[in-house]
Structure 1
Amino acid sequence: MSALLIYKALHIFFLIAWFAGIFYLPRLFVYHAETNSEDVSELFKAMERRLIYFVSPFALFTLIFGVLMIMEYGMAWFKMSYWLHAKLVLVILLYAHFGYCYTIVKQFKRDQNTRSPRFYRIFNEIPVILLIGIIFLAVLKPAIGS
């Protein structure tokens, strides 16, 4: 069994675990933005905080094993893999989205949310769109830029 296959399996595992949180957290934001109850709001604050801290290590390990795979393939392969460059742009956008989730959690924690439930419904779709692009690029490896 090669190190590359181990890295790939762990990358996929942590990606799936991370995405469970990425898909659920903005849904919590929708419900939180809809509530007028202080008790329910406090419950959502706790759920959001616990969830983001629970899935954050998965984001880190997804990144670590992705980088290890690139290193295992080598820099010559990386330079020629234009599909991977496109995929990494989407991955950077995904990490930016996840980072913004931290900002939103803090805003809700301080009762400073100014966004509507509709905003969070749309925000919830961003990782879905990014994931579709990431998967298609990773599986199809199209000849981009050649």
Structure 2
Amino acid sequence: MLWVKSFHIVFVASWFAGLFYLPRIFVNLAMVPAESVAERSRLLLMARKLLRFTTVLSVPALMLGLWLWLGYGVGAGQGWMHAKLIVVLLVIGYHVACAAMLKQIERGTAMRGHVWYRWFNEAPVLLLIAAVVLVVVKPF
């Protein structure tokens, strides 16, 4: 079980690293002057590659988490695990929202200001804090 838990932590940390940085690219895209086509193209390429890589990392993170929960019974029937599963669903929703935003940015629709993306970039930090506190402290 410790091997599964170790790799789960590694993949979750890697997944979150991508979720921390992808909206930062959105901030940079929002600040690119309209005439700077090359810079915009480069940032879009970086965002697409990071989203793809982050999506790949999310799969083993989720699979290993399911293995810990269903295979080893970690947290089964406990309140902290139910709360953590809600946090996981929110993280998945955030990931999907980032993918949808990237598509909108690529199409040139619904580009928001850099300040909005800066605030949006804080959500995964709060979600990670919530998940770690729930797993380590087990408040209920």
Confirm or deny a common fold (TM above 0.5).
yes
Give 1:113 shift: 3.5
Q: Quote the RMSD (CA, aligned, Å).
A: 1.3
Q: Deviations over 1:84-118 (max 9, x none)?
A: 10111111111100111111111121122431111
Q: Structure 1 stretches of 5 or more lacking a match? A: none
Residue 28 of structure 1: which of 9, 20, 25 is its match?
25
SS in 2 for 1:78: coil
Tell me which residue corresponds to 1:69.
68
Number of aligned residues: 138
Cross-structure match for 1:78: 76
Query: What TM-score results when the alignment is normalised by the length of structure 2?
Result: 0.93
- Displacement of 1:54 in angstroms is 1.0
Task: Find the partner of 1:112 among 109, 116, 128.
Answer: 109
Gaps of 5+ in 2: none
Which of 118, 123, 126 aligns to 2:123? It is 126
In 2, the alpha carbon distance for the partners of 1:46 and 1:107 equals: 14
Aligned counterparts of 2:9 and 2:37: Cα–Cα separation in 1: 39
Which runs of 4 or more aligned residues in structure 1 lie more than 3 Å from their structure 2 counterparts after TM superposition?
none
Measure the CA separation in 1 of the matches of 2:112 and 2:91. 20
TM-score, with length taken from structure 1: 0.90
- Calculate percent identity across the aligned residue pairs: 38
Deviations 1:27-81 (CA, angstroms, capped at 9, x unpaired): 0000001111211111111000000001111111110000000123339x512x1
